[in-house]
Structure 1
């Protein structure tokens, strides 16, 4: 089997990091964890699980995921978030890949969970994500939020990742707070200007997209939950962007 380096980025992921590393172990010859200053036991647990830990203050999503790539021992990179796991079918599929064409990257279906509940509604499944790529031709875009792998060719693999997105609904709300703050910061870095109408417009667009285009209106409670939380996230990131500019003006 062609050797693969697994890469995980972490910040206070002591509840996830061991299982993430164990998930990569069947197909990766080495695992690198890029930690951005965890104050819990993430680093110690990662090292005990056999990963090589590199310390790097957070650079943003894409740059952080790309940081360890030059230090990997192998050209083929398998990048997981700390709350993702390879399903058995993904392990089997990766073992069968020839990996003889560096221009190809591989995209997997992702099962997103809230607690023990698999959320399938309103676009939460199959949620395809590219995770396996060759660093000589491909890599994460230098976006500070919601980055993705850019590759000359992407091949869909009929296999799954499990994504333990939220511990429960309360954690879902906490993550929206955290991610909307990060998104607002990233937008300001890109020069996105404030707008009094943009929060509402984006929230309404997100709601309609999830309810109508993604079918959430016909998918019961899960469909409505996804639509409402997506709209709330959209509203808050633009509202927080406005707040960043307001605070900047007040500090002058």
Structure 2
């Protein structure tokens, strides 16, 4: 089915990723092409990408994660695709494993990557990170992003999947405000997704769900063993749930009081 010397396309979507994107790009230079879809960054990300000799950068307005990643996937020239987030970095060992895998004649169409989560420059061992994995390597012809997910996008795979042995490095936590901003943004987008699916706000969920989220990350998923890092991460994840239900309540109120169509309200919220 496949043989040696398989070509691979590396893809990323970005918005204001300076301080992250440099390490990510440099860890992907072994790829046959690097395509980045940028949502009109204002912090120098676009200029860095535009001046990088190995990168093709396309600017496109951001609607949601699934839409942007689906567009990026269509830009890949090769069937094998490596799709990273801008705050993820491949180690040399993982680079070698990726190249060996795609040239091995594998019958698998997609591969999970486990990730090592970094809190600034320190590893997080627990807080839910011990089971954290995502699809990052796959055949373009055998996958599609689920259209009903606009955040924490889901990849649908035709055929068998595998898991690589080497972990990906995930530099998600640069500082408190940066990580908090990401989680709150996800919460707001999750509210749009929930309203589209007919889910409704309730005060009970606003109270119970964040408490459960904190308990799950800090106690069940052993965040307390990460010390202060685990406390901060568990708290921010719980705040994201609060933001989700606050945004959902605001959207429900707007759909009841506005004369605009629901579709227009949701597009404006995104």
The alpha-carbon deviation at position 74 of structure 1 amounts to: 0.3
User: Which consecutive unaligned segments of at least 5 residues does structure 1 have?
Assistant: none
1:141 maps onto 2:175 in alignment = no
What CA distance in whole angstroms lies between the structure 2 residues aligned with 1:81 and 1:177? 18
Which residue number in structure 1 is paired with residue 199 of structure 2?
A: 192
Any residues of structure 2 matched to 1:87-236 within 5 Å, and which? Answer: 87-97=91-101, 98=103, 100-101=105-106, 103-142=108-147, 143-151=149-157, 152-236=159-243
What CA distance in whole angstroms lies between the structure 2 residues aligned with 1:202 and 1:235? 8
1:35–1:56 contact (8 Å) kept in structure 2: yes
SS of 2:84's partner is: strand
Aligned CA RMSD, in angstroms, stands at: 2.1
Corresponding residue to 2:50 among 41, 47, 56: 47
1:34 maps onto 2:37 in alignment = yes
The alpha-carbon deviation at position 25 of structure 1 amounts to: 0.9
The alpha-carbon deviation at position 82 of structure 1 amounts to: 0.9
The alpha-carbon deviation at position 116 of structure 1 amounts to: 1.4
Distance 1:132 1:33, change over 3 A: same
User: Which consecutive unaligned segments of at least 5 residues does structure 2 have?
Assistant: 260-270
1:211–1:227 contact (8 Å) kept in structure 2: yes
TM-score, normalized by length of structure 2?
Answer: 0.84
What CA distance in whole angstroms lies between the structure 1 residues aligned with 2:51 and 2:59? 16
What CA distance in whole angstroms lies between the structure 2 residues aligned with 1:34 and 1:165? 19
What CA distance in whole angstroms lies between the structure 1 residues aligned with 2:184 and 2:127? 21
What CA distance in whole angstroms lies between the structure 2 residues aligned with 1:99 and 1:136? 18
TM-score, normalized by length of structure 1?
Answer: 0.89
Query: In the TM superposition, what whole-angstrom CA distance separates every residue of 1:182-233 from its partner, at most 9, and x where no partner exists?
Result: 2223323333222222222211221232234312345533333332222221
Number of corresponding residues: 251
Deviates more, 1:130-139 or 1:167-176: 167-176
Query: In the TM superposition, what whole-angstrom CA distance separates every residue of 1:74-115 from its partner, at most 9, and x where no partner exists?
Result: 001100111111122211211211353464211111111221
What CA distance in whole angstroms lies between the structure 1 residues aligned with 2:41 and 2:104? 34
